[in-house]
Amino acid sequence: GIQVEQSPPDLILQEGANSTLRCNFSDSVNNLQWFHQNPWGQLINLFYIPSGTKQNGRLSATTVATERYSLLYISSSQTTDSGVYFCAGPTDYGQNFVFGPGTRLSVLP
C-alpha cells in the first residue's frame, strides 16, 4: 500500500488566522480523504477528493494527483477547528484506507 505523510505535525494558531495542511503520498491514488478528529475523539469526514478542488464553508481541499499531494486550507480559524486532521489514501485491503500520522491543530481564542 501507499505511504502517507503529513505536515506539519503540530500547528498552533490564533483565532481568525488561516492555515494550510499538507499530505504527501508515495504513489498515485484514486481515492483520498481528509478527516477531522475532534477533541472528544469523533472522526468526521471532511472531503473525498481524489483530484481537483472542493470547498465547504471555511474549508477547502486541493489534490494534485500527478504530483502526489493534497492540501487542506482552513480560513478564519475558530476554536472549534481544534483537533487532529488526518488524510487517508487507499490500501491494498479492499476499499479501506491507510491513514497519515495527522496534524494536531490548536486554535487559541
- Picking from 42, 25, 35, the residue whose alpha carbon sits closest to that of residue 90 is 25
Asked whether 32 and 6 are in contact (CB, 8 A), the reply is no
Least separation in angstroms between residue 34's CB and other proteins is 11
Footprint of other proteins (CB under 8 A) = 4, 31, 33, 35, 41-45, 48, 50, 86, 88, 91, 93-102
Residue with Cβ nearer other proteins (83 or 102)? 102
CA distance 32 to 52: 11
Residue with Cβ nearer other proteins (6 or 19)? 6
Q: Within 10 Å of residue 24's Cβ, how many Cβ atoms?
A: 15
Least separation in angstroms between residue 19's CB and other proteins is 20
Strand 10-14, strand 103-108: pairing? parallel
Residue with Cβ nearer other proteins (18 or 80)? 80
Least separation in angstroms between residue 88's CB and other proteins is 8
